[in-house]
A and B are shown apart, each in its own frame.
Chain A
Amino acid sequence: MMQGPTGPATSVATTSPVLRIGGVGKRFGTFTVLDDCSLDVAEGEIVTLLGPSGCGKTTLLRCIAGFWDADSGSITIDGQDMARVPVNRRPVGVVFQSYALFPHLTVARNVGYALRMQGVPRAEAARRVAAALETVSLTGFEDRYPAQLSGGQQQRVAIARVLVMEPRVLLLDEPFNALDAKLRGTMQVELRQLIKSLGLTSIFVTHDQEEALTMSDRIAVMRAGRIEQAAPPDEIFDRPATAYVADFIGSSNFWPSLVADGRVSLPDGQSVATGLRGAVRVMARPHNLQIAPPAAGPWQGRVAFQRSVGPLVEYHVETEGGDAMVKVVAMRRAQDRGFADGTAVSLRIVDPALCAVYPA
């Protein structure tokens, strides 16, 4: 069950998808930036493209917006192929990393830009600009220039500027990068609630896993131009499809092991069933491990390091044999205060079924 096929959506949309990315590839010279990427995005769904820099997530976003052409595959919106549709005719709105607000135009003129380009009558345009500014709570800021706004306000102008043209798909390219860390958390929640209340189908690009976990209905983890797994945040976290995803999202422990009779034995003596054969790697999340005073059991170790992470304590335990440093997360409780650095402890896996097995 952990070794399901990687790639396209694991949850099947009931209606036809708004955005369909089918086998998109893109090369720059001999370098493959996107390799056979497929992804369906349903009406009102927020999908995050998550991965390290250079994994192709921004390239995919730029192909959807039309700034770059894909070399192969197709991108369709509402069933219409975008290949021959120029940038300014695509029903998408882009919120840029730098926001790209026009510095020489006021907030109202920035927000009304798309309407002027389309020749929308002045009275209607004014009404729609006012509505968009109200949506992002910037009423009263009409005559300010972008340079006179805070980072958070600039982001809201950038969002209002695309909302005003009622796009079918909203594309957000690392929109929190320009904000300071403290503001990010609140802005993430606010932005998700705003997008959800408007029911906008969205693609959100980030390299920050916490941002992805906060913002998304579904996360597409990308690696070297490929989508490794696309699934809801819980599933990505609890059942990562590949060792790469397990390693990239959250914290994890890996052990090499061998399959015998369809089962893999775990370090604490328990075992878990697998369909794989031969050499494998077993993964357990730190919160699936239990740390206890030394007791009779096969899995003993010594606390090498510990740190408090809010209400949790993370222990790094040096296990017998010495080569594997195991990470354990426990709730901070009175009885755990006993595990000072250097203390001998025993370890146990709480739920073997939550361990994942990957090919070695």
Chain B
Amino acid sequence: MRAFRHLSLSDALGIGLILCVAVFSLLLLVAPSIIVVMISFDTRAFVSFPPEGFTLRWYAEVFEQGELVDAMLNSLQVGLTVTLLCILLGVPTALACARGRFRGTTALSVFVLVPHMVPGIVLGVAVLFAGALVGVSPSIWLQSVAITVFILAVMVRTVQSRLVRLDPALEEAAANLRATPFQSLRTVTFPLLMPAILAGAVFTFVEGFDNLSVAIFTHGFRDRPLPVELLALVQYTSSPLVAAVSGVQIVLAIAALVAVSLSIGLDNVND
């Protein structure tokens, strides 16, 4: 507290204001999740706030409903496929953009960004029609590819920004120290890019799992992903079931963040 003793009134007011804004922002970020979780324990069969009573009935029902569990598994599959595709396509693209010595590296990095700028609905419709033209009908695979196109830019940008900040002398040093280009990539570039690749993987997995706008036009008729299933649910019912599904998702997200912070540290992902 000693540090505050010599503060002038205006300093104190400034700090107070900053604290207020910070607390307000934090509330704004966290409140929706807290409200959803509270609703999910409500005993009443319709969504209302504040909740009355406490039950785990909706959580039990989530896992009793075959469609919801299937939808979760579908979304999990899409999330993993999108992540894998983004790593396979995005990391080499980022390398080409940041280190390539050919004309058009800037054009390439802008080009990758374009699908991300188009509204997801438009991209979804476009992929649907384009698929129809070449005889590919909506499926879990078409959905995965479409979302990959949509979100690839995030992986490319994350890896690229890390690459740009890597000292180029590191790769030159590897070459000077007898490493072939492939050895240099394997022993120096990739290990140093790993935090960025993991960060990109978290973002792309979440998008693959959670995307509605692209998925709604491209998902398979029998393989409905979770967001589409939830949309149907809120359209026709208003039970706290939806809140319970969200509760499960929130728990999974927290578990994932804890796992990441325990393994490589959140700072590394941010970096």
Contact = CB atoms under 8 A, between A and B. Distances in A.
Interface string A86-112: 011110111011101011100000000
Given A88-B180, A118-B178, A165-B178, A104 B173 contact: no
A56 B173 CA distance: 20
B166 to A, nearest CB: 10
A94 B176 contact: yes
A165 B177 CA distance: 8
Interface in B66-93: none
Contact of A88 (B170, B175, B191): B175
Given A104-B191, A104-B192, A87 B176 contact: yes
B174 interface: yes
A237 to B, nearest CB: 33
Contacts of B174: 102, 113, 117
B113 interface: no
A102 B170 contact: yes
A162 interface: yes
Contacts of A89: 178
Contacts of B176: 65, 87-88, 90, 92-94, 162
A57 interface: no
A100 B180 contact: no
B183 interface: yes
B167 A100 contact: yes
Of B175, B180, B183, which is in contact with the most chain A CB atoms at under 10 Å from its CB?
B175
A118 B173 CA distance: 15
Contacts of B179: 88, 113, 117
A162 B174 CA distance: 11
Contacts of B188: 102
Nearest to A114: B177
B173 A96 contact: yes
Interface residues of A, number: 25
Interface residues of B, number: 17
Contacts of B192: 103-104
A57 B240 CA distance: 72
A153 to B, nearest CB: 17
Interface string B174-218: 111111100100011001100000000000000000000000000
Given A103-B192, A104-B192, A117-B183, A96 B178 contact: no
Nearest to A112: B177
Contacts of A100: 167, 169-170, 172-173
Nearest to B188: A102
A234 B168 CA distance: 37
A161 B169 CA distance: 14
Contacts of B170: 100, 102
Contacts of B172: 65, 67, 87, 94, 96, 100
A96 B169 CA distance: 7
B17 to A, nearest CB: 38
B268 to A, nearest CB: 11
A165 B173 CA distance: 13
Interface string A75-92: 000000000000111101
Closest 8 CB pairs of A and B: A100-B169, A114-B177, A100-B173, A87-B175, A117-B178, A117-B179, A96-B169, A94-B176
Interface of B: 167, 169-170, 172-180, 183, 187-188, 191-192
6 contacts: A66-B175, A87-B175, A94-B172, A100-B170, A114-B177, A165-B178
Interface of A: 65-67, 87-90, 92-94, 96-98, 100, 102-104, 113-114, 116-118, 161-162, 165
